[in-house]
Amino acid sequence: MSNPVLHVENLTKRYGDVEAVRGISFEVAEGEVFGLLGPNGAGKTSTIEILEGLRNADSGAVSVCGYDPQRNPEELKHEIGATLQSTALPEKLRVMEALRLFASFYKRRRNPDDLLKRFGLEEKRNAFYGHLSGGQKQRLALAIALVNDPKVVFLDEPTAGLDPQVRREIYDIIEELRRDKKTIVLTTHYIEEAERLCDRVAIVDHGKVIAQGTPRELKQASIDKTRVEVRLAREESDETLKLLEGVSDCRSLNGVYVLHCQRPPQAIVSLVKHLEAQNNELISLEIATPSLEDVFIELTGRRLRD
């Protein structure tokens, strides 16, 4: 990638005996929406906070908009915007006061009235922060992140804890930012969020990037492996089911047997015959095309939210 706006190489971060980030590397191009996808505790937030200049790395090389976050924090802050996992503002701070306050921190500023209109907060301009709904608070956090017209926007779990309707509203805002050619780096543990919003994704687990590419490229690795999920009346051995015709892999996850099949029809016929021979019963069966969830299961042996 020529002249990436963000470059991370062999990044590490340790908290006592816990190695939270273990050699993470990736690059982000200008105007790209890049996602760090992984479970809670995978190292996503530590990584993004280092990029924002909120934490110091133990080792590795980082460049954001041409700046080293540790050496050039003052210059960097004018080029980036960010929403943290949780935004906590004074309960009695009014919406417009919050925007004007944060705008005063920067040399380049957006018009607060324009931001209120863009994020549907015009009627709440004089409302106290403590009186806003969860969705309104998140929209205000996004408006604050854009108050300095940043080149790169960091969104750490932007929809965590929000109901589905508000989550879709945030999706629409992020897609609008993409159309405006903003460079966005977001962390998420929602598969559907990464697939819908991100141009490219780095799957992170235990402080390492275990796969990286466009959602389509990552799923392409499993394109010949349709997922068949079955529940059985009695337990079966993963190894036994893996040997069935048409089955390339089998893993039991929370009482569900996940079969990856190159030939689903043969696999299902073979499974039914096996269960009849074992006097076992099929309780349920679901077939799905490959997803990022399948990629994660294949790489780690567990579901993303386990």
Q: Which tens digit of pLDDT belongs to each residue from 128-152? A: 999 999 889 999 999 999 999 999 9
What's the confidence (pLDDT) of residue 163? 87
Mean pLDDT of 83-103: 92
CA distance 80 to 129: 23
Q: How far apart, in Å, are the Cα atoms of 183 and each of 130, 143, 166, 219?
A: 31, 16, 23, 24
As given in the structure block, the two tokens for residue 44 are 């996503």
What's the confidence (pLDDT) of residue 85? 82
Given a cut of 70, is residue 1 above it in pLDDT?
Answer: no
CA distance 60 to 22: 10
Closest CA to 80 of 152, 30, 144: 152
What's the confidence (pLDDT) of residue 86? 80
Given a cut of 90, is residue 263 above it in pLDDT?
Answer: no
CA distance 193 to 183: 17
Q: How far apart, in Å, are the Cα atoms of 299 and each of 43, 136, 207, 256, 304?
A: 17, 37, 14, 18, 11
Domains and CATH numbers, the chain: 6-215 (3.40.50.300), 224-289 (3.30.70.100)
Q: How far apart, in Å, are the Cα atoms of 143 and each of 79, 117, 168, 182?
A: 15, 10, 17, 14
**Which of the residue ranges 64-78, 88-102, 161-175, 272-286 would you say has the lowest mean pLDDT?**
161-175
Phi/psi at 244 (5° precision): -65, 150
Given a cut of 90, is residue 53 above it in pLDDT?
Answer: yes
Confidence of residue 299 (pLDDT cuts 50, 70, 90): confident
Q: Do the beta carbons of residue 224 and residue 194 sit within 8 Å?
A: no
Closest CA to 153 of 211, 216, 80, 85: 80
